Structure 1
Amino acid sequence: MSHSTPRIAPLTPPYPPEIQAQFDRIMRGAAPLILFRVMAGHRRAWDKFRAGGLLDPGPLSLRQREIVIDRTCALNRCEYEWGVHVAVFAGPAKLAEDEVRATVQGDATSPCWSPAEQALVAAVDALHHRATFSDQEFAELSAHYDEAQILEIMLLCGFYRAVSYLANGLRLPLEEKAARFPV
């Protein structure tokens, strides 16, 4: 669902120098996302939001990280953030079209996923629906991922659920160059 005006107005240029510097570091020359512009208008929220970022190199591969983020955003019906991540990271993460589609329309049994990725998608689904894992789900996840990776998976799910709340609750208009949910 696309809206033209967010419920909280985003900052407009020119940005204060400190905010501009932060946007430059995050966006690497691209225009700042609407979500960032809304959050940056409220210092505490912006500082907390940036502190929770998990896009730095961590214990998961880029592909694993993006599967978690894309699936989490899709489950939360957050086309805004899903679309930004697919547009920016699907190529570098080597996510094929059927895999991108499966983050929205598939599940852990989709044939495009490897056994490790099936465990990953099942974990995202379990956290989304029940906020926990069954013993079997945790065992399957542990068969493919170490403790640091499992913690990262859980943190990513939680952070991107919060991002979904923000984007959906603020009714952010979809970014122009972002992907759209498959039909």
Structure 2
Amino acid sequence: MRLKSETSLLLIVDLQAGLLPVIEGGSRAVEEAIWLGRVAEALAIPVWLTEQYPEGLGGSEPRLLEALPSHRLWRKVHFNAHAEPDFADALVGSGKRQIVLCGSEAHICVMQTGLGLLEAGYEVYWLSEASASRRAEEARFARERMVRAGATAVTADMVAYEWLERCDDERFRQVHKRFLKPRSARPVRFF
């Protein structure tokens, strides 16, 4: 299935300040979530953040909160955000059926949220470079399990360009000019 901007929601799970120092690849996950979150906000796609036990793990990473001013914040006690009745009701009310999912820890809260969303009939898109755990191996296993369960593994670029759909309108020009530039010094390879 292709992602559509009108049916999508970006869900960033538990990228929290107190947890990130021990997350392998945590800084990159935040950067990628911010980048795609900015694209989402520019396209009027909802961006939701969750926090697990913020009293102990700290609140959401301040860079996320600053970069994504239109976000909606959910506090949760379940590892699976969809198990929170208010969250589940609001998601139904949003009318969004395609959930782009990322965060930490990938093998706990992100995966359990993804499984809950799949069980509820949502399309889940696992944002690979923005899903991290204390050990990279755990994030990899979580991604593999989610794909076997029915999620689709994606990258931020895949998502952004699917949301945009075309290059000949003002929406593309504005988003491309502001956000769709290289985010790192990663080499370009042609095969």
TM-score over 0.5 for the pair: no
Indicate the structure (1 or 2) with the bigger Cα radius of gyration: 1
Of Structure 1 and Structure 2, which has the larger fraction of its residues in strand?
Answer: 2
TM-score of the pair, normalised by structure 2: 0.30
More RCO (CA 8 Å, sep 6+): 1
Of Structure 1 and Structure 2, which has the larger fraction of its residues in helix?
Answer: 1
TM-score of the pair, normalised by structure 1: 0.31
